[in-house]
Amino acid sequence: MTRDGQAMLYGLGAVALWSTVATAFKVALTYMSPLALMWLASLVSWALIGVLVARQGLAGQALRHGWRTAAWAGLMNPVAYYLVLFGAYDRLPGQEAMALNYTWALAMAFLAVPLLGQRLTRIDVLAGLIAYGGVWVIATRGAVFDVAFADPLGVAMALASTLIWALYWLLNARDHRPPLVAQWQNFSVGLPVLTVLLLAGPGLEWHGWAGLGAGVYVGLFEMGIAFVLWQLAVHRVSRTAKVSNLIFLSPPVSLLLLYLVVGEPILASTLIGLVLILGGLGLQQWQKSPAPAAQESR
């Protein structure tokens, strides 16, 4: 199999796992608070990635270098990002939180203007208007001329998570740590913080085997294995666009799983809003200049 073929398989594997996480979040949050879920999932992910770091011979580098970056990066991801994201999933239907979270790529484009000195094109602005029009449809649940959101705090948390995620990646643009090392160090910083917050708040509680299984699933697959598969795909593919477009397969599968497993009726406003959001993201991707012929042939 060619490297591009391998990359597509890895990418499809990651997208398949990401398609399940909205359902996993909603199931896990029926058993525990966002903070308890965050702590358990982080512990599992930290252990899994730690094993992978050791198996790849990166333990020495992970222990000696990169902690200055990890000191702030770990507070953003996993602590701030996932606490806000899980808070949104706790308040909103999974389909709404999932759809709103897809606007992070547009948030990154807009934040790159003040942070990196980049300029917005007219396509960027149009894509933003279309996608955030979808946000408005979802937030108002179809009552687009009514300013009263169904859950203003939930919507604010979902959109805040996109800003945190986009800001995290923009600030990490010059991060030279290997991805696995960076992920493990970030969790090594975030996990003690989450432990203190948990002990100071609700404390350690037993949430039953079903709750434990849901939390472990989130840690293994959303924060762990999916991340590794996506990194393998990106590093093997000849052009990133070949795998980046796979992410558009995830929302329809996520909606179907939320309907079948969680029992969420799929709202017309979610479908319309999601089409607008994905349309805006697709328009933003479309404007990227194609690779030269020599690069295409690799």
Contact 283, 130 (CB under 8 A): yes
Residue 58 DSSP class: -
Domain annotation covers residue 50: yes
B/e letters for 20-57, b = 16+ CB within 10 Å, e = fewer, are bbbbbbbbbbebbbbbbbbbbbbbbbbebbbeebeeee
Number of domains in the chain: 1
Nearest-angstrom CA–CA distance, 284 and 126: 9
Domain annotation covers residue 294: no
Domain annotation covers residue 291: no
Q: Angle at the Cα of 177 (from 54 to 51), degrees rounded to 5?
A: 15
Instruction: Give me the amino acid identity at 284.
Output: Q
> What distances in angstroms separate CA 234 from CA 165, 218, 246, one per listed residue?
19, 22, 12
Domain annotation covers residue 238: yes
Contact 39, 217 (CB under 8 A): no
Judge residue 238's burial from the number of C-beta atoms within 10 Å of its C-beta, 0-12 exposed, 13-18 middle, 19 or more buried: middle
Structural domain containing residue 28: 3-285
Domain annotation covers residue 296: no
Nearest-angstrom CA–CA distance, 189 and 184: 9
Across 59-63, 149-153, 287-291, least confident range: 287-291
pLDDT bucket at 297, cuts 50 / 70 / 90 = very low
Two structure tokens written together for 199: 């002990």
**Over the stretch 1-55, which tens digit does the pLDDT of each residue have?**
788 788 889 889 988 998 999 999 999 999 999 999 999 999 999 999 999 999 9
pLDDT at 73 over 50: yes
Two structure tokens written together for 1: 């199999």
Would you give the end-to-end CA distance of the chain in angstroms? 14
Judge residue 284's burial from the number of C-beta atoms within 10 Å of its C-beta, 0-12 exposed, 13-18 middle, 19 or more buried: buried
- pTM summary value: 0.85
Two structure tokens written together for 219: 């840690």
Nearest-angstrom CA–CA distance, 73 and 166: 12
**Over the stretch 250-283, which tens digit does the pLDDT of each residue have?**
888 899 999 999 999 998 999 999 999 988 888 8
Domain annotation covers residue 295: no
Domain annotation covers residue 226: yes
